[in-house]
Structure formats: structure tokens, C-alpha cells
């Protein structure tokens, strides 16, 4: 049975697909068999990315597939070491179903209070619905400075949640990489690769 890792948020555009892809890439590069499940049928952003990646011939190859529900994705879980659920935004019902299916639930968030407050509310709602707190972890994205990262981390930890080590800084190079079918851990800028890798390796350590 695969380790199931879900990326969720109520807010759109926080980095669910970005981190799903990077995690899929690094897990695959580490020799694990991976399925990246795109649960956003309307947008299909990870599906599109998977197609671009395949066309560009980028290794390791990553198997991306669309599923209508978390349950449908779970049905193929036993064929893989890792099943990654790239969740849709703005659907609390689907988010809960996805969280229930997952061994680890990752919520990316930006560092502003406008981002942090709803993000914490979202995890509180999952805990209230019966998801164990130990399964929930935040990932910091779109960070500008070290001070901003530290403040956001402190806010989330004070709210009682774990936060992955490292963060993604806000950089056009990360968008550019993904336009080419690469993960953010594959950008041609070594320093940005290394920074993204810290975050993703911390995640991989958690499913060990």
C-alpha cells in the first residue's frame, strides 16, 4: 500500500500543484514508484504539466493521471510506493475527503496574515472533523525574506501545527521551470534548486 500524501488548501494558487510536482519528481528520483493524481478536473494543471514533461523527454518520467475523487485515486494506491493527491481549491467537502484518504496532509501557504489566517482555520476545521493533528503539516511558499519566513513559521507553530523545514521563495524562475515541464527542484539556478530541495526532502523524510 502506497504512502498517500495530499496537498490541500481552500485558497487557490498557493502552491499545491507546484509542491505536488516537486515531491513527485524527488520521490521518483529517489527510486520510488509514484503516481501523481490530479484531483482538479476543471483545471487539470498537473495533467498538462505531465504532458509537457513527457513531450520534452524529461527524466525521471512521472505518471500523472486525473481522478474525479480521492476514492478513485486510492483505488490504484496499492500499485505504487507513493500516491500524491493534488487537490482542488475552494471545496471544503472534497478537501475533507482528500484529507481522510491521506497519511500526510500538506497545506502550502503564503506568509501574509491574509494567507495564514484562513490556512489555520482550514486545519482547525480538519481537526474538528476528526483528522489527527499529527497528519497535518504546513509548507511555506512565496517567501520574500528570512524574517518573513521566521514570522510565518512562528505564527503557524503557535497555532499548534508542524511546519516543514525550508520554504519556497517567490521567483519567476520557478514558474519558468514549470512552464517547461520541470519541477521547481529542476530549475537551472542551483541555489533555487537547493532551497526547494530542502523543503521537499523534509517531506520525503516524513513518509520514510
Ligand X SMILES: Nc1ncnc2c1ncn2[C@@H]1O[C@H](COP(=O)(O)OP(=O)(O)OP(=O)(O)O)[C@@H](O)[C@H]1O
Binding site for ligand X (CB under 6 A): 9, 12-18, 40, 43, 45, 89, 141-142, 168, 170-171, 174-175, 178
Closer residue to ligand X, CB minimum distance, 34 or 88: 88
Q: Which three cell numbers stand for residue 199?
A: 523543503
Q: Which does 14 bind (CB under 5 to 8 A by kind): ligand X, Mg ion, none?
A: ligand X
CB nearer to ligand X: pick between 79 and 90: 90
Q: Return d(Cα 190, Cα 77) in angstroms, integer.
A: 33
Q: Which of 66, 131, 121 is nearest to 98 (CA)?
A: 131
The residue with its CB nearest to Mg ion is: 17
Burial of residue 50 (CB within 10 Å: 0-12, 13-18, 19+) is: buried
CA distance 34 to 83: 6
CB of 1 to ligand X, least distance (A): 26
* Residue 178 binds Mg ion, judged by CB under 5 A: no
CB atoms closer than 10 angstroms to residue 72: 13
Under the criterion CB under 5 A, does residue 17 sit at the interface with Mg ion?
A: yes
Query: Can you tell me which residue has the cell 503516481?
Result: 35
Q: How far apart are CA 179 and CA 83, in angstroms?
A: 23
In the bound state with Mg ion, the residue whose beta carbon lies nearer, of 16 and 25, is 16
Work out what residue 178 binds among ligand X, Mg ion, none; the CB cut-off runs from 5 to 8 Å by kind. ligand X
Q: Of Mg ion, ligand X, none, which one does residue 168 interact with (CB within 5 to 8 Å by kind)? A: ligand X
Amino acid at each position: 500500500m502506497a504512502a498517500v500524501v495530499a496537498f490541500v488548501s481552500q485558497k487557490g494558487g498557493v502552491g499545491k500543484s507546484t509542491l505536488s510536482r516537486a515531491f513527485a519528481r524527488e520521490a521518483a528520483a529517489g527510486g520510488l514508484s509514484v503516481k501523481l493524481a490530479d484531483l482538479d478536473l476543471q483545471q487539470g494543471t498537473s495533467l498538462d504539466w505531465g504532458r509537457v514533461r513527457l513531450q520534452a523527454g524529461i527524466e525521471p518520467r512521472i505518471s500523472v493521471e486525473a481522478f474525479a475523487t480521492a476514492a478513485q485515486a486510492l483505488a490504484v494506491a496499492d500499485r505504487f510506493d507513493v500516491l500524491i493527491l493534488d487537490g482542488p481549491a475552494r471545496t471544503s467537502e472534497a478537501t475533507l475527503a482528500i484529507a481522510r484518504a491521506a497519511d500526510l496532509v500538506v497545506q502550502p501557504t503564503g506568509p501574509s496574515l491574509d494567507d495564514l489566517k484562513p490556512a489555520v482555520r482550514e486545519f482547525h476545521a480538519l481537526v474538528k472533523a476528526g483528522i489527527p493533528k499529527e497528519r497535518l503539516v504546513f509548507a511555506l511558499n512565496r517567501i520574500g525574506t528570512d524574517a518573513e519566513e521566521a514570522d510565518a513559521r512562528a505564527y503557524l507553530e503557535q497555532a499548534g501545527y508542524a511546519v516543514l523545514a525550508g520554504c519556497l521563495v517567490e521567483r519567476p524562475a520557478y514558474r519558468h521551470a514549470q512552464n517547461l515541464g520541470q519541477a521547481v527542484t529542476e530549475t537551472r539556478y542551483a541555489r533555487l534548486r537547493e532551497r526547494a530541495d530542502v523543503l521537499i526532502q523534509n517531506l520525503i523524510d516524513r513518509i520514510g
